Amino acid sequence: MTELSFSLVCARVFVNRRHLIWLALGVWLGGVAAGDAPSYRIFVSSESGDIVSQLTWDGVALKTVKVVPVGIMPADIDGPHNVTVAPDGKYWYVTIAHGTPYGTLWKMAVDGDTVVGKAPVEMFPTTISLTPDGELAFVANSDFHGDHPRMNVVSIVYTPQMVTLTNLPACDMPHGVKVNHAGTKVYVTCMNSDEVLEIDRASLAIARRHKTGEGMLPQAMPMKMGHGGAQGGQGGRRTTRGCTSPATTATS
């Protein structure tokens, strides 16, 4: 039996107590015989370094085995934000937050770490969650910049062809996203509007909303839809909150 485990975990790492680095982790667990130490391959995206590092874990120590450069702008930071592994273990995906001007979702082959395809998403894509069959990727687009409130979108990508099916208007700064184990529902956490959303896979529509707080700004403020989502009126506050990525585990 082959066991596959992958997670979307954000961590804040302070270097010399001054420099803040965001890391996103994806963990792949290969075939394990009874009694043997697990053989982990861990994918770590470094947002300010434009790299995805691959590490092994033998149950005792971590070892860096490969560093994969990602990004399209040599003179600027592209910001790989999150990474996850496909259920079949053949591909890994990374969100590239910055672009010209929009972000992208990259599909990479595990064998050789080469680019298989790219799908356009929206402003500042953050976390990724895949359906159990690996055919759909749900990507939260947070768009940390500009005025708020703003109706940001969740991009839905058909991964076999890396085609963006739709950019679903969701909430103000969606960040965490997780598909349930049955692959029928998708849950999204919204940082600024303090909501949890439920997306129905069959209709690709928001089925339910649940408020978890009052939100960062009054909900009565008008929102106007634009290409990257709705924008609030002048004078809206720019806000950024901590990382709220979910964790996912699957076996096959």
- How do the pLDDT tens digits run along the chain, 252 residues long? 333 333 334 433 333 333 334 445 555 545 444 556 566 788 888 887 888 999 988 888 889 999 998 877 777 777 888 999 999 999 999 999 887 788 999 999 999 999 999 999 998 999 999 999 999 999 999 888 777 888 999 999 999 999 999 999 999 999 999 999 999 999 999 999 999 999 999 999 999 999 998 887 554 444 444 444 444 433 333 333 344 333 333 333
Q: Does domain 133-237 have CATH number 1.10.10?
A: no
Residue 120, SS3 per DSSP: strand
**pTM (whole model) above 0.95:** no
Query: Where in the chain do CATH 2.40.128 domains reside?
Result: 133-237
Beta strands in 145-194 (DSSP E): 152-158, 163-171, 174-179, 185-190
- The confidence score (pLDDT) of residue 152 equals 93
Residue 193, CB-side half-sphere exposure with 13 Å CA sphere: 26
